[in-house]
Amino acid sequence: MQHIEQLLSALPEHDLTFLGSAPYVYHCHHFNLFHDQTVEDALGEDEAFSVRAQAAHDASRQLLSELVKSAGAETPAERLELAAATLPWMGHGKLELMTDAGGGRARGSYLHYGFTWREKYGSRVRRRHPADAFAAGYAAAATEVAFSLAPGSLRATEPACFACREPACEIEITEGGGHSDASLVDKEAFTQHVAAPAEGVEEAAVAKIAAGLKDFLRGLDGDERGLLQGFGVYVTRHLANYYDQTAYDTIHRVEKERPQVAGVVESLFGESGHVCVFYTFGGILASPEWEALVGPLRGEPEEIVVGCTAIARGLGFGHWTIGELVPGERLVMRSTSNYEAPFYRNRYGRSEKPRCYFFSNAARAFMQLAHKVDWSKRPRLDDALYQSLFKSDLAWDIEMTRCQTRGDALTEVVVTRHGS
């Protein structure tokens, strides 16, 4: 994928990564499914599909517009081919686009959301509504870009989905999506809402591990299905604006329409931070690649927190630092940049309260992994262990003491032992 790789750039001192001007991060299928499930729980399945597809459409259009320009793709056929080839690079599966300026169809195989939903939950629950809103929004954006249509000319639905036990995913693209008036949150906008990078505890170790991880992740190759597998999870190179737009639009709507459960939706988006740290960070810590990069894991709390901080940077989550760590008692995590705050400030302005949900809950999960997992026994990071750690034995409270969404210079969360 020479063309997409030419678009790769970074703000290395801020540990942020971009595809052209679009910020991207690595997230696993456990996080992705939980995140989207929360949007569905909050808005209902149909409305959630629209919100997710719209966010995917906006974010993908930003990426694909720049991609066709940079690749010099002139004709619709060239552009559609480029879009179809980019999706597997992102780990989202394969999409065959059969569209013209009036819309058309797309056939998906191994689409990340539908495929991994069925793999994770399919034996326990029957799904009755489609899962691939991201691919649908992507297909609509790809067609708009291919035929030089105005933003919002097209919309997409998914009448058949693999997650609903259909043999394949079918996406329909039709006219009349309506114009999205969302402002673009790009690299330039991100730079306006990050602070000068600071150093934290064990800075040299964190920076060294993060650099090694970035190198490793850059070389991660998709398989013949268009999926990226690593560390026991399906990984995506995902557009950060998709996460931010879906999360914050959902939270704002709940705050406005059903304020009595506003705290609940915040908790659930925070919970996805636990899910991510447990499966992806945990999977990386327990991997042979980690052992090769850093050495055998001893399992001491300092080592785990340092490792997790480096992983966050490696995944493109921003410049996270350890402000203070007292094993068994307290962790202060800071970020001078992350992927939540710049989006929020650009899109919605200054928040009245802290809103870096992912960052703050991830920090709590660092402490849980550092103190409640016996790494020397090489535990299986499965659902049963997750339930025991995060349902019944969560030992830490968090307080967001500073937050860039609120206009503070940096974002800070204090994690303390429950009840202390």
Q: What residue ranges bind other proteins (CB under 8 A)?
A: 34, 37-38, 41-42, 120-121, 124-128, 254, 258, 260-261, 264-265, 267-268, 271, 386-387, 390-391
For the bound state, the minimum distance from the C-beta of residue 103 to other proteins, rounded and expressed in Å, comes to 30
For the bound state, the minimum distance from the C-beta of residue 102 to other proteins, rounded and expressed in Å, comes to 35
CB nearer other proteins, residue 92 or residue 274: 274
For the bound state, the minimum distance from the C-beta of residue 394 to other proteins, rounded and expressed in Å, comes to 9
**Residue 387 amino acid letter:** Q
Distance, in Å, from the CA atom of 90 to the CA atom of 113, rounded to the nearest integer, reads 13
Which of 300, 314, 154 is closest to 220 using CA atoms? 314
Token reading at 353: 């309260």
Which of 415, 385, 388 is closest to 400 using CA atoms? 415
CB nearer other proteins, residue 69 or residue 258: 258
Token reading at 313: 């940077």
CB nearer other proteins, residue 138 or residue 396: 396
- Tell me, rounded to whole angstroms, the distance of Cα 18 from its chain centroid: 13
CB nearer other proteins, residue 125 or residue 409: 125
CB nearer other proteins, residue 45 or residue 78: 45
The dihedral formed by the CA atoms of 208, 213, 214 and 219, expressed in degrees to the nearest 10 = 140
For the bound state, the minimum distance from the C-beta of residue 317 to other proteins, rounded and expressed in Å, comes to 22
CB nearer other proteins, residue 38 or residue 246: 38
For the bound state, the minimum distance from the C-beta of residue 228 to other proteins, rounded and expressed in Å, comes to 23
Task: Report the phi/psi class of residue 172: left, alpha or beta, with left for phi > 0 and alpha for psi in -120 to 50.
Answer: beta
CB nearer other proteins, residue 24 or residue 390: 390
Beta strand residue intervals within 240-372, DSSP E: 320-326, 330-335
Length of the chain: 420
Give the C-alpha distances (Å, rounded to integers) separating 209 from 204, 215, 265, 320. 9, 10, 34, 13
DSSP string, 137-177: HHHHHHHHHHTTPPTTSEEEEEEE-GGGT-SSEEEEEEE--
Which string of b and e fits 366-378 if b means at least 16 CB within 10 Å? bbbbbbebebeee
CB nearer other proteins, residue 124 or residue 418: 124
For the bound state, the minimum distance from the C-beta of residue 340 to other proteins, rounded and expressed in Å, comes to 20
For the bound state, the minimum distance from the C-beta of residue 275 to other proteins, rounded and expressed in Å, comes to 8
CB nearer other proteins, residue 218 or residue 258: 258
For the bound state, the minimum distance from the C-beta of residue 53 to other proteins, rounded and expressed in Å, comes to 20
For the bound state, the minimum distance from the C-beta of residue 387 to other proteins, rounded and expressed in Å, comes to 6
Three-class secondary structure of residue 414 per DSSP: strand
Give the C-alpha distances (Å, rounded to integers) separating 67 from 1, 152, 172, 360. 11, 19, 23, 34
For the bound state, the minimum distance from the C-beta of residue 216 to other proteins, rounded and expressed in Å, comes to 30
Distance, in Å, from the CA atom of 143 to the CA atom of 99, rounded to the nearest integer, reads 7
Which of 251, 256, 248, 414 is closest to 347 using CA atoms? 248
CB nearer other proteins, residue 24 or residue 279: 279
